[in-house]
Structure 1
Amino acid sequence: MTSPETRGDREKVVSKLPSWLRQQLKVRAAQLGIDIQDAVDTGITAWRGLGSNLSPIDTSGAESFATFLPGTQWAGFRADCKDRGVSLIQGLAQSVQVWLDTNPGPAVKRPAIVRRIVVCNQKGGVGKTAITAGAGEALAERPDALVPVRVSKHFAALLEDDGNQNTDPLALEDLPGLGQRVLLVDFDPQGHLTKQLGQETLPMTGDSLTNHMAGDAKGELRDVIVAIDEDRFGGDLHLLPACTDAFLLDVRLASVRAREAALERALAPIEADYDVILIDCPPSLGLSMDAATYYGRRRPEEVPGNSGVLIVVQAEDSSADAYDLLTSQIEDMRTDLALDLDYLGIVVNHYDARRGYIATSSLQSWMEIKDPRVVGVIGDLKEQKEAVRVKRPLLAYAPRCEQSVALRALAREICK
C-alpha cells in the first residue's frame, strides 16, 4: 500500500519483510553509507530487470516495513509481481536480497602496523582498567551488527550539565561495529582487568608475560591468551591475563639487557594476530612503565597517532599532580632515548557534574590543555560497577548505556 505522505518526489510504501532480512538491509546500508530507501529502490529496479524468477525466500513471520519509493516504481513493481505470480512480500524480499548480493559489505579497515595503546597513570583509582576494557570492547564489536554511537560529542557541553544523566536517544546514530582484532594486556599485578572480565589470573608456577619479559619463558605466550566469550565481539576480543609475579617485574628487569624493550620483545611474536593491543598499566613509574612507554613509541614507517600513550585522569586536583609526574617521565624517555612518542589524548573518567564546582572547574582545566587534548569524558554511572560485579564486559552487559556510547566515541576518536 502507499500513503500520501511524501519525501521529495517519493511516496511512503508499507509492506512486510522478515526481521532477519530487514536487519541485514539496515546493517549493509549503514556499512555503505546508503539510505535504506535508495537501497530498496535499486534492488527493486534490479529485480524487475531479471529475466526469470529467483528461488523463493522464507518470509514467514514477516513484519511491517515502510520506506519511500518513486510512485512509478512501486506501481510497476506491483504489476511485475502480479505477472510473475509472486506476492508483494515475496517480491520485495527477493529485491532486497538482490541488492544485498550485489552490494557486499566493505572489508574491515585494518592498520598497516598493529596499534599499540598504552593506557596509563601512576595514580590508582582513576579507572585505567575500565577505559582499557571499554575501548578494547568498542574496537572489537562485530562489523555485521549496529551499535549506538554519539559521533560528534561536544565535551564542553558537560560543563553546563544540570545533573541529568539520561541520554537523548535522538542524539545517537546506529553504526556498524569496528570489527578489530583486539588484545587486552593486563600489565598490572593486581589483575583487575583479568577479574573484571571473568577470567582467572595466571598461576605463579606457570608461564606469564613477566617470564617472557625477563627472558625466562616456559612456552609460547599465545598459549596463555584467552578469548572473551561474548557474541557481540565475534571472537575478536582476547585477553592476556595478569599474574601476581608482575609484582617482581621491576626487580627482574633490572638485570635484563635493553630492558626498555622487554615488553616489545615479549609481544612481538603475537602482534601479527591483532589489529590493536591495549596495555593496562600498573599505577607505577618504575621500569615496567618505561617498558610500556617504549612499546607505544612510533616505529619506522608508522604514521603519527597510530600508537601512543592514552592518559586517564579524573576531574579533581590530585589527578593533575599525578599527570605532571607521568608526563615528566614520558618526556625524559623521549629525550634520553630519542623516541617519537605520541600522546593519543586524555580521558577524563568518572565525571559527574553533580559534584559541583570542583568537578566542573577541573574538567574545564583539562579541556584547556591542547597537547595532549581531551579525547573522551566518561560519566560515573552505575552500569560499569554492575558489569564489574557480574564479571562481564560493559559493552555486553549494557550496550546502550551512556558509558558504552561514550566508550565507542572514544575508540573511534583514538583509532581514526
Structure 2
Amino acid sequence: MRAVQILNPSGEVTMPRPNRPRVMCVANQKGGVGKTTSTVNLAVALALHGNRVLVVDLDPQGNASTGLNVPHHAGVPDVYDCLIDNVPLADVAQAVEGIPNLHCVPATIDLAGAEIELVSVVARESRLGRAINGYPGEFDYIFIDCPPSLGLLTVNALVAAQEVLIPIQCEYYALEGLNQLLNNINLVKAHLNPELEVSTILLTMYDRRTRLADAVEQDVRNHFGDKVLTSVIPRNVRVSEAPSYGQSVMTYDPGSRGATSYFEAAQEIAERGAKIGVAA
C-alpha cells in the first residue's frame, strides 16, 4: 500500500502546487548531512505527485546527477556552461528517465574550476539567478543542490533562491557550523537578495536508539520553531544504497522507511507552499 501511494502509478494522488515557482537552495557547508540525498528524494516525491520540478546540480562532485541517473561525464553540457558562457538553462536541462515532470541540470567536473573562474566575471554572484530567471516559467519547484562549502557557487545559489532548505544531521557536530551558514545567509540577504528566507529545516540521519538524536532534535526545534518539518528522515540502509543504482529511494524501495519519510517531508513542503501562495 505504501509503495503504491509513493510511486503513484495512476497519477491520481497529487500534492498541492504552489501559486508561483519556489526556488529552494539546499545548503549546509558541513559535508555528509544528506543535502544531495534530500534534494533528489524530495524532487522525485514532488514530481511523482503532480509537481513540475527542476534540480540544478551545483556540486562539482555531481552526486545529484548520479542519483537521478543523468549523464554528467566530461563533455556533457552542464551548469558550468550556464554560469561561465551564458548558455541558457533550457539548453542543458535533461529530462529524468522514468520520472515524469522532473528535469535536471547536471554538474560535470568542469564545475570544480568555476569557483576560481567566477572571481573575475562581471556580476559573478548573480549568474545562476539570471540563468534561472531566463528559463521559461514552467516549474513549480527548482531545487539547487549546493557544494559543501560557502564559496561563490553557494553564494550564487543563495542569490538565485527565495528559500533555503537546511538539512541537519541528528549528531553532536550538527549545530557547530550552522552559525556560519546563517551569518552568510544574512549577509546575502542584506546585500544581494532581500527576499531570501530560511524556510525549511529537515532533520536527517535520525537514529531513534540514541539519546543524542533526541537531544539534537529538541535543540533544533527549540531554536527554529515551526520551520522544522515534523517529518524526520531516519538512518536507513535503502536510502544509502539507492544512488549506487542511479535511483532515488522512492523508486529503489518505495516501501522502505526512508522512502515513506521523504514522501511525508515532500507532502509537508507542498502543503506549506500552497499556503505561502495564498498569503502572498
Please classify the TM superposition score into its range, dividing by the shorter chain length: 0.7 to 0.9
Deviations 1:228-262 (A, max 9, x none): 222xx3x2111111111111222122122222211
Match of 1:116 among 15, 23, 37: 23
Match of 2:35 among 128, 139, 164: 128
Q: TM-score, normalization: structure 2? A: 0.85
The one-letter amino acid of 2:33's match is V
The one-letter amino acid of 1:393's match is S
Deviations 1:91-118 (A, max 9, x none): xxxxxxxxxxxxxxxxx85434311111
- Alpha-carbon deviation of 1:276? 1.0
Structure with greater proportional strand content: 1
Change in Cα spacing, 1:337 to 1:220, as seen in structure 2 (3 Å) is closer
Aligned partners of 1:125 and 1:110: how far apart in 2? 30
- 1:344–1:414: 8 Å Cα contact kept in structure 2? no
Change in Cα spacing, 1:257 to 1:371, as seen in structure 2 (3 Å) is farther
Deviations 1:358-384 (A, max 9, x none): 222112211212357311410011111
- Alpha-carbon deviation of 1:271? 4.4
Tell me which residue corresponds to 2:4.
none
Q: Does 1:382 align with 2:233?
A: no
Indicate the RMSD between aligned Cα atoms, in angstroms.
Answer: 2.3
Tell me which residue corresponds to 1:236.
101
Tell me which residue corresponds to 1:207.
77
Match of 1:252 among 117, 121, 125: 117
Change in Cα spacing, 1:261 to 1:225, as seen in structure 2 (3 Å) is same
Match of 2:249 among 394, 400, 406: 394
Tell me which residue corresponds to 1:226.
94
Aligned residues with identical type, % of pairs = 32
Aligned partners of 1:249 and 1:117: how far apart in 2? 21
Match of 1:282 among 147, 156, 175: 147
Aligned partners of 1:313 and 1:246: how far apart in 2? 25
Partner of 1:351, secondary structure, is: coil
Match of 1:414 among 269, 274, 278: 269
The one-letter amino acid of 1:226's match is Q
Partner of 2:216, secondary structure, is: helix
Aligned length: 262
Tell me which residue corresponds to 1:16.
none
- 1:312–1:346: 8 Å Cα contact kept in structure 2? yes
Partner of 2:214, secondary structure, is: helix
Tell me which residue corresponds to 1:363.
217
Q: TM-score, normalization: structure 1? A: 0.59
Q: Which runs of 4+ in 1 moved over 6 A?
A: none
Change in Cα spacing, 1:415 to 1:109, as seen in structure 2 (3 Å) is closer
Deviations 1:338-362 (A, max 9, x none): 61212122111111122x2222211
- 2:27–2:164: 8 Å Cα contact kept in structure 1? yes
Aligned partners of 1:27 and 1:392: how far apart in 2? 20
Unaligned runs of 5+ in 1: 1-25, 32-107, 142-176, 298-307
